[in-house]
Amino acid sequence: MSTPRPSFSAARAREANRAAKAASRARAAEAGAPDPATLDRAIADGLAVVIAGAPKGYRLASPIDAGAVILAAAAALKARTKRGLAAGKNPVIYRREAVSAALAARLGLDP
């Protein structure tokens, strides 16, 4: 049995949602804020840097400094921008205040 084709109004609603999300991403990029997926990748990269910096043999037993993870995540975002510029692309230029607010919101910290 074949599935029915979506109605015209459903397709129009999906297109409107896509356009709204694209506009939201463009506003965030203009403000210098990372999108949630990029922010999550930066946090994961920061965590990996901090864990890799622990003494060998104690990497999983060492306490993790949250401040170091946040600084490493911010450095990962900065490196992402530099790589984009070096590749001749038009990357998002992250602003310190926007990154700080996004990290605080994502990690549930007080801004």
Domain count, the chain: 1
Q: What confidence score (pLDDT) does residue 60 get?
A: 85
**Residues 24 and 35 sit within 8 Å (Cβ to Cβ):** no
Burial of 34 (0-12, 13-18, 19+ CB in 10 A): buried
Is 33 among the domain residues?
A: yes
Q: Which residues of the chain have pLDDT under 50?
A: none
pLDDT tens readout for residues 26-46: 898 888 999 899 999 999 999
Q: Does residue 1 sit within a domain?
A: no
Q: Which domain holds residue 61?
A: 8-107
